[in-house]
Every structure is written in structure tokens, then in C-alpha cells.
Amino acid sequence: MSRVALVTGGSKGVGQGIVVGLAEAGWTVHFSGRSEGRLEETRSRAAETGARVVVHTCDHTDDAQVKALVDGVIDQEGQLDLLVNNVWAGPRMNHVTPEKFWERPIDDWDTLISVGLRAHYVAAHAAAPAMVARREGLIVNITSVGTRAYLHSTLYGMSKAALDKMTFDMALELREFGVNVVSLWPGLVRTKQLLASGVDNIAGVPITDAETPELQGRVIARLAAAPDLTKRTGTAQITAELADEFDIEEPGGGKPISPRAMFGGGPIFPPLP
């Protein structure tokens, strides 16, 4: 029986790469977003792998729609093995010379916290009961090196740090039920938006060192099958380092570069007690 995944925010960028990477590994992949055109692009790319992919339109600022999305997948499939909380919406900002927090509008909060944090919590809240009932499942929260290193803005770092704390605490509460929760830190990712920006580096990281979106999906597929997954629950894992551990190459060949130097190394939280 095919394993079932739900990827929130799968219409472009990192989310699209995750959908494609999971489809390559044979998962049944449900994914969500707002733009029907972009959703269709993801569906078309993922369907080329031969996997079953299912599109859902969802406004992730609406708690009821997020819950209905998760419940609908569970009702349709009878199970949910993997939830990837990826949906994100960020305000326009200058990546070369970022504005200070007091120079930014207060409503930055509405995207970086309401979508980038709340929507993840709501989806996990909806998915957990079904995973607990089956005593298995994995929740992956896409976070960032911005938890430890300054990246983009104060609110960006706040939202990512909160996600990593959410991962740790949810893992603690879910562990006895066989459900695992992991944060994944991509490095700089070579999205269409990034390539069109015209910048040659972000926070000192050259665009030439950027990872592909598809690498994220390949790494998550291997992580979900890792025999030591329970030892990783509650932790933040770095995509590039997992790719090296699992011997996964980029779609075009080569290995990604870990962003660990950006924050000086060290763990985010200790292992679960």
C-alpha cells in the first residue's frame, strides 16, 4: 500500500520540489496552495514520475480550510503517514540591505507569523489524532538556519525559531504514540523567485551554492524511511547534511553545502529527555 503524504504550500519553490521528490520515491502525494496555475504545474511535474498526486486549493490563512484539507485527505485515504508543513508567505523585502524591524510595517506579522507559523500548528493539530490512532506518522516542519543566524528580518527569525520549538515540544508529547516530528533546514534554495531576483548572494551565501527544491523532497523521503527516525524526533536536521549521510545527490549531480557555518555550529535543542 502506498504511503500517503500531504505537503502544504506545494504550488511552487521548495513545496513543489518536495512534492516531486516524494513522488519520485513512490509516495501518494496530496498538496495544497492557492494558485490553480501553479498547482497544475506541480501536478504535471509530479505525475511524470508515475506516482498518484492529488491537488487541493486552500487558503492557509483560514483555520477552517486548513483543517478541512487535512481531514479530507485522511477521509479519502484512510491514513496520513507524512505531513510536511511547508506553506509560507513573506512580505517583499530587500535581501541586499534588509530594513530594520522598526522600519518595516507591523502587518509583516500577518504573513510571517499567521501563515508561516499558525498554519503549521493548525495542520499538525488536525493531523495528530489520526496519526496517534494508528500509532505511527511523521510531521516535518520546514524551518530555516534563520533560527540561529540572522536572516532576512527579525520576524523571519522569530517565526522559524518558534517552529523549531514547536517541533521539540510536539515531539515530546507525541513520542509515546509512535509519532515523530522533525524540523528540516534547507540551505539557500534555488527557486525561480531567487533566480529572478538578480542578487548573487544572500547573507553571504553565493547563489551558486544554492540547493534545488527537489533535493528537499528526496531527503524527506529517505528521512521518513530512516531506521533511526525515532532518535531524530524533536530535532532540527539540515538538508545538506542529511543528503551527505544518505548519499543523495542533487538532480544535476553534486552534493550541497551545509549552511552550518552561518550560525557557528551546535544543536538547537538537546535530544528529548
CA 63/CA 76 separation, integer angstroms: 20
Q: Which residues contact 109 (CB under 8 A, 6 or more apart)?
A: 155
User: Is the Cα torsion angle 261, 264, 269, 273 positive or negative in sign?
Assistant: positive
H-assigned helices in 154-227: 154-174, 192-196, 213-224
CA 240/CA 245 separation, integer angstroms: 9
Q: Does residue 150 have an active-site annotation? A: no
8 A C-beta contact, residue 224 and residue 173: no
Burial of 45 by CB count in 10 Å (0-12 exposed, 13-18 middle, 19+ buried)?
middle
User: Is the Cα torsion angle 118, 121, 125, 130 positive or negative in sign?
Assistant: positive
DSSP bridge pairs for 55: 31
CA 15/CA 272 separation, integer angstroms: 28
**Residue in 156, 162, 220, 232 annotated catalytic:** 156
Q: What is the DSSP string of 91-139?
A: ----SSSPPPGGGS-TTHHHHHTIIIIIHHHHHHHHHHHHHHHHT-EEE
Q: Which residues are catalytic?
A: 156
